[in-house]
Structures are given as structure tokens and as C-alpha cells.
A and B are shown apart, each in its own frame.
Chain A
């Protein structure tokens, strides 16, 4: 059960893992801003540094909030709704 030990290892050091992840995210933005060739971009807005990071984050937030609003507007209902 090496795999379980590995997951346990990561879980025990959750703070460090999270820090490393944030480091990688920062690195990703830096690489995007300075190194990546944006010649193949389709629209001008994509040339903004970290455009896709903002897109991803906002997209995620919008999806969650809009869907939950939609769900609580009457779409979500009790589990036995269809039972006789």
C-alpha cells in the first residue's frame, strides 16, 4: 500500500503542499507574462498578462454561484419528489 502512504505523506504536509501549489501558480503567471509567444492567440484580449488565469478563476466562480442560484430558485427539491 505504497500509494496510501504517499497520500498520507502529502496530507500530513498539507500546508507545504498548498504553498508549493501557490508557488507553481505564480510561476505559471510569470511564464505566461514573459515567456510564452502569444502569436497564436485568436483575439486581442488574450494578450493581457494572466488573461486565462482570470478567465479560469472568474469562470469557476460564476459557474458555482450562478448554478447554485439557479438550483435554489426552485430546481433543487427533496429527494422523494417523484415518489408516489
Chain B
């Protein structure tokens, strides 16, 4: 064990646990101080392997710091500041605690050098982030949170099984690039664990389900950490895994298709996370230096612009209580700055020149073309058209403009959000533009040296044409895009309805058994009992009663005869009595001497 190495997550976890003890008047300052300290610690990290702990038979490595973990650690601790600032006015301590422990799990997973540490922090993420859903305290939140937890526990189990199998054969717990060209079942299990957190279909349905249901600031945290930690893990372990290329392209388009159908703005954004993470997954699959750079750069840019978009829609939800397009519209007079910030997020995600997506997303597309996988390049560009269509056009248009007239109380409630939320959005928006305009800031942080220039005349012309003509298509087909108050079935159907089917199956046999037992009881127990009872009754009636009645009748008969015999004359009675007595004595004497 080497000298003490201050883990950024440790600051955050201790900071989180101390929140309830902080006096109310300094709480806001404290809430900003701790993430700032974490960020300072992250940028002060030197490259190397630290925090080596021998525990039982395992050599745990808490601090593997290299260029890949540095860039992810940097952006995550930066996002922690912004997301905390955004939710600074939230009174509940527990919300801040859950969010910070969640971030700590994510940062811990990124600096983990071995599978056991990775797995531990991985599970910390799942079990702390679920509270960000539950704290919304709607009846739906509880079940959405439970589904989220269930899916992540299943993914965690796959990951753990894979880890154990893999490390048994390897004889080492260290987490490095896996043999992606000869994958073993163990490697596939690890891949499934990572893919579930990265929301790769068919393991993606938890994402819109959870992020659409979380608290207004919980979603800002969630959209940044879970999927991007998984992207990091994929970059580390699965660079060059061929199957990830088609999966990534499918993801990119899948999210776009569902975003067309979505009526809830935060669920739409959630589907666009799937779409954008698809670019990163495809980049990991391509596996070249440029593609991995692209995946990291896009993850970096994505955390900021997606955080910004969730802040914008979260602000609308926080102020109006609505997140459905059919309940919103025409808010531009009430929340103009929120509109501008959200639009900046939308332009960044759509990769408009001078915005962050332009310098990051294009690296992955270019890497696809360079590998002569033209279908990858073209389909990813098609997905960008879809991205602009929804996040750049549909979200701002149908919330802030549009023909829909929301209810009067929604309009009355609508106003710009509190200053801390505005500040968080403003900073995130500024960063999105800064990254887009000053490329060395991001490119210098990437794991491989960058030999790529996004600002060529051809690339700018290509991008502007795709995006602006997508805009033409949007306004031409506006009527078709009108939001519908419906939900779209996704693969969560299988466990939402499937769970019910399971219940049904469980219930039916139990009911059937119950019926059978009941019938058996009736036939074998009740009927004989009744029969016995009837017999007993007969016996009672016929025998016992008969005896009693018979006795009574006999006595009555006797007494009647006695009455007849008793005429009331003493002499007669006495004579009769003596005669009987004499008879009895004679009979007695005769019998005794015989």
C-alpha cells in the first residue's frame, strides 16, 4: 500500500454524508464548495497508478489515472458542479446526498483499475441514482424506480458473472483491454453488463422510462453519468469490437425514430441520449485512434449539451409542472432565456458549426468514412438530420412556439426559473459554444494525438446543407409532426406487461391449486362430514330422541294407566297396592326357592 492518495470520490462521499450537519445559512456555499473541490482534485491528478489496496486476495486499484480516465473524470466532476448549481435551491438534503453519491460512484468507476472496484462503484451508481427517481414522489415514480433498479441489478449480475468467469481464467482482476477478436462467453457477459448501462438495444428501454420520470434536477444528473461511464468502460475494454459498429448505428437511428413519436419532452431527450450514445458505441466498435478520440470527445460534449437540454426541459417542468408537448406551447414570452439556452443545447447536439457537437460528432463519422465503412458514415449523418429535427426544432418549437394553447394555469405558472438554474444553463451554454469555437480545449484532452480539423469548407458546407434542409422538411411536414397524446411501446413492454403475465401465471396456478384444494376439501372433508353429521342427526333424532321420547311416552302411558287405575278411593288404591305387593312377594318367594 503506497502513500495516501486522495480519491475525488472520497471527497464527494464524505461531503455528501456531512450535508445534514451543515447549517442552513452556509448550505448553498457548501453545496458548491464540495463539487468545486472535487473538480480541483480531478484536474490536479497526475498520470500513474495510485490507491493500491491489498484486500483479502485481491489487489484493488482505486486510482488508475491515464489520459482516458482523465478526460472522463474531468467532464464528470465539471458536470457535478453544474448539476448541483442547477438544483441548488432544492431543500431536501437527501436529494443532494443521493446525487453526489451517484456521481462519486461514476467517478470511482472511471478511476478503477480492477474489475472488483469497477463493479462496486458500478453498483453504487445504480443504487443511489434510483433515489433521484423516487424523490419525484409520484405514484408512477415508485414503480419506475423499481423497474430501473431491477434492470440495473440484472445488468450488474451479468457483469459480475462475466468478471468472475473472466478473471478466473486470466488469474488477474485488472481491468484492461479485453480480447475482442476472440471473445469468450465471459467477455460477452461483461459486454452485456456494459451495454445495458450504455442503453444499447435491446437493453435500452430503462433509459427513457427512468429519465422521463426522475425529478427535474435528478434527470440532469442521470443523463450525464450512467451512460457515459459505460462508454468509458467500453472504450477501455472493447475498443475495436466489431459488433458494436452496427449496434451503435442501430442505436443512433432507433432513438431518432422513437423521438418522432414521443410526446414527453424529457422522454424525447432520453431517446436522443440513446441516439447520441450510439455514435460513441459505433466509435468504440471502429476502434481506431480517431474513432476512440471521437467517442471520448463526443461523450465530453454530450454531457454538457445533454445536461443543458435536460436543464431547459427540467426548467419548464419545474415551473409549469408539465413536460408534454400537448400541454405546452407558446412559452416564448414567459421563458425566453430558457428557450435560448435550450436552443443552444439543440444546436450543439445537432452538430451545428461553432457548437460543441460539430467538433466531436464529426470525428466519429469521419472515422467511419476513413475505415471505408460508408454505410456507417451515411447512416450516422442521417441520424444527425433526425437529431436536429427533434432536439433542435421539435423541442423548442412545440414548447416555446407552436399553435397549441396551453391551459391558463400552465401559462400563469410559466416564468423564468430561479437564478441558480439560469446560471447553470448559462454556463453550460457558454461551454457548448466555447468547445465548438476553440477546438484545442477539447482536443488536447483526448487520449490520442489529434490529427483532425473539423473546420474545413467542405465539412461546414455539408453540415449546413444537411441541417438546414432538414429544417425545410420540418416546416413542410409540421402538420404530420404534431404531437399526439400517446405513449409508444418499447421493449420495456416485455417486463412491464411480461411482469404482469408472470403475475398472472403465478396467480392462475395458485388459484387453480386453491380451487382444487377447496374442491378436495369439499369432497373429502366436507361431504363426509355432512354425511356423518346427518347420520349423527339421524342417530340423535332416531335413537337418542327416540329413547328420551320413548321413555317419556312410556312414563306418560304408565302414568295415564296409573291415572285410570287411581280412581281416588283410598281403599281401592290400598287394596290394589297391597295386591300388587303380595303378588311381588309371592313372585319373589317362588323365584328365590326354585
Interface residues in chain A, defined as those with a beta carbon under 8 Å from any beta carbon in chain B = 1, 3-4, 7, 24-25, 28-29, 31-32, 35-43, 46, 50, 52-57, 59-61, 63-68, 70-71, 74-79, 81-82
Contacts and interface: CB of A to CB of B under 8 A. Distances in A.
Contacts of A59: 381-382, 385-386, 466, 470, 473
Contacts of A7: 332, 336
Given A60-B470, A60-B474, A79 B459 contact: no
Nearest to A6: B336
Given A37-B458, A81-B487, A67 B257 contact: yes
A63 B385 contact: yes
B488 A4 contact: no
A2 B584 CA distance: 137
A6 B212 CA distance: 32
Interface string B484-523: 1111110000001100000000000000000000000000
Interface in B441-498: 456-459, 461-470, 472-474, 476-477, 480-481, 484-489, 496-497
Task: Report, as a range, how many residues of chain B touch the other chain.
Answer: 35 or more
B332 A25 contact: no
B329 interface: no
B256 interface: yes
B63 interface: no
A59 B468 CA distance: 12
Interface string B274-286: 0000000000000
A79 B381 contact: no
Contacts of B260: 63-64, 67-68, 71
A64 B389 contact: yes
Contact of B465 (A28, A39, A64, A66): A28
A36 B461 contact: yes
B578 interface: no
B374 A54 contact: no
A59 to B, nearest CB: 4
Q: What's the dominant secondary structure at chain A's contact region?
A: helix
Contacts of A1: 336
A41 B337 CA distance: 39
B58 interface: no
B123 to A, nearest CB: 27
B486 A32 contact: no
Contact of A78 (B333, B465, B481, B486): B486
Contacts of A78: 486-487
Contacts of A40: 456, 458-459
Given A7-B336, A36-B461, A64-B480, A56 B385 contact: yes
Nearest to A79: B487
B487 A65 contact: no
B470 A56 contact: yes
A18 to B, nearest CB: 9
A4 B260 CA distance: 29
Contacts of B462: 46, 52
B264 to A, nearest CB: 10
A15 to B, nearest CB: 14
A25 B465 CA distance: 8
A66 B257 contact: yes
A63 B469 contact: no
A44 to B, nearest CB: 11
A8 to B, nearest CB: 8
A74 B493 CA distance: 13
Contact of B382 (A35, A63, A75): A63
Contact of A57 (B332, B469, B484): B469
Contacts of A24: 468
Contact of A63 (B256, B463, B476, B486): B256
Nearest to B336: A3
A4 B389 CA distance: 24
A24 B465 CA distance: 11
A22 to B, nearest CB: 9
B234 to A, nearest CB: 25
Interface in B211-250: none
A39 B369 CA distance: 14
B11 interface: no
B45 interface: no
B32 interface: no
A24 B461 CA distance: 12
A28 B468 contact: yes
Given A4-B333, A76-B486, A60 B473 contact: yes
B370 to A, nearest CB: 8
A71 B470 contact: no
Contacts of A77: 486-489
A80 B497 CA distance: 13
B340 interface: yes
B487 A4 contact: no
A64 B475 CA distance: 12
A56 B481 contact: no
B17 interface: no
A52 B459 contact: no
B261 interface: yes
Contact of B488 (A35, A50, A71): A71
B496 A82 contact: yes
Contacts of B459: 40
A53 B471 CA distance: 11
Contacts of A79: 485-487
A4 B414 CA distance: 14
A76 B489 CA distance: 6
A59 B104 CA distance: 41
A52 B477 contact: no
A3 B382 CA distance: 33
A63 B457 contact: no
B377 interface: yes
Given A71-B260, A77-B486, A81-B487, 19 more contacts: A1-B336, A25-B469, A28-B465, A31-B461, A32-B461, A35-B457, A36-B458, A37-B457, A37-B458, A52-B465, A55-B466, A55-B469, A57-B469, A57-B473, A60-B472, A64-B477, A66-B257, A67-B261, A74-B489
Nearest to B457: A36
